[in-house]
Amino acid sequence: MPYHAGVPIDLAAAAAHLAAADPVMAGLVRAVGPLDLRPPRPGHFEALCRSIVYQQLSGRAAGAIFERFRALYGPAGAFPEPAAVLATPPETLRAAGLSRQKIASLHSLAAHFVAGDLDERGLEHWPDEEVIAHLVRVRGIGRWTAEMFLIFQLQRPDVLPVDDLGINRAIMRRYGLPAMPKPEQVRAIGAPWRPHATVACLYLWRSEDTALPA
């Protein structure tokens, strides 16, 4: 299915497709009920900075650090341009609570934007795999982070992160597997979900947070 930038995911149509294509998904659609998807953040650079800051931290701790990072550049609500982040000395970022590794990642991300290797419009319009290929060139951003960006920020309709722990755990439970699935198993199970794999993932994640029978 071709991707058209700016077209929102039709959650109801995706749920109907999944319910018709896969009996397990049909059960999840009934049990979980209607989904919602939070609107994306205003800027992709901000969303990627947030992804870096939040890596391997609890939500509360990461949120506090992210707000201190944002406050370095002006009043609440403003977010710095990439050039401003790139020009910020490491010791200033350290004072906001960022680790050396995350400072290096933020500087790398900002440098890619300043150089034009990444830009807001390109991220909107590149195909999924091209977005991933560009993002993984940034220090500290791997394929999983890029896939989460595709799902939650760009809200692409057909993303299947085969290495996601939550997805794999939900597939093991809901599909009665004896062990966590390998990537090729996830792709095979997910084949009927196309072109709505993103919404299938949302149902699987939600099923892990919902009191559903195994």
Asked whether residue 3 is assigned to any structural domain, the reply reads: no
Is the model's pLDDT at 1 over the cut of 50? no
Identify whether 69 is part of a domain.
Answer: yes
- Are 108 and 126 part of one and the same domain? yes
**Residue 58: domain span:** 44-153
Please indicate, yes or no, whether residues 28 and 111 belong to a single structural domain of this protein.
no
- Residue 77: inside a domain, yes or no? yes
The domain boundary residue, chosen from 138, 153, 168: 153
User: Cα 122–105–135 angle (5° rounding)?
Assistant: 30
Token match 């993932």: residue?
201
In the predicted model, is pLDDT for residue 64 greater than 50?
Answer: yes
Q: What is the largest CA-CA distance in the chain?
A: 55
Does the pLDDT of residue 180 top 60, yes or no?
Answer: yes
Q: Which of 117, 119, 164, 209 is catalytic?
A: 164
Here the CATH number for the domain that contains residue 15 is 1.10.1670.40
pLDDT greater than 80 at residue 3: no
> What pLDDT is stored for residue 6 in this prediction?
57
Query: Is there a catalytic annotation at residue 22?
Result: no
Distant-in-sequence contacts of 99-107, Cβ < 8 A, 24+ apart:
101/140, 102/52, 102/53, 102/55, 102/140, 104/139, 104/140, 105/52, 105/138, 105/139, 105/140, 105/141, 106/49, 106/52, 106/53
Both 140 and 181 in a single domain? Answer: no
Sign of CA dihedral 137, 138, 140, 143: negative
State mean pLDDT over 69-84: 89
Q: Are 156 and 37 in contact (CB under 8 A)?
A: no
Confidence of residue 211 (pLDDT cuts 50, 70, 90): low
Report, as an integer, the average pLDDT of 145-158: 97
